[in-house]
Amino acid sequence: MAAQPANIKVLLAKLGLDGHDRGIKVIARAMRDAGMEVV
């Protein structure tokens, strides 16, 4: 029986308090769509 590959888990964080969070949301969505677990 072949072992299942482990899911890649990614923790993303945004530096600063400026409120510009669109970039991190785009990256998170792309990683999620690629099959990664994004926290």
27: containing domain: 9-38
Would 2 be classed as within a structural domain? no
Would 24 be classed as within a structural domain? yes
Residue type, 8: I
Would 32 be classed as within a structural domain? yes
Model confidence at 1, pLDDT cuts 50, 70, 90, reads low
pTM of the model: 0.72
Would 4 be classed as within a structural domain? no
pLDDT for residue 12: 94
Residue among 4, 7, 3 nearest 36 (CA)? 7
- Sequence-distant contacts of 34-39: CB under 8 A, at least 24 apart: 35/7, 35/8, 36/7, 36/8, 36/9, 36/10, 37/7, 37/8, 37/9, 37/10, 38/10, 38/12, 39/9, 39/10, 39/11, 39/12
pLDDT by residue (tens digit) across 4-28? 778 899 999 988 888 788 999 999 9
Would 1 be classed as within a structural domain? no
Contact 7, 32 (CB under 8 A): no
Number of domains in the chain: 1
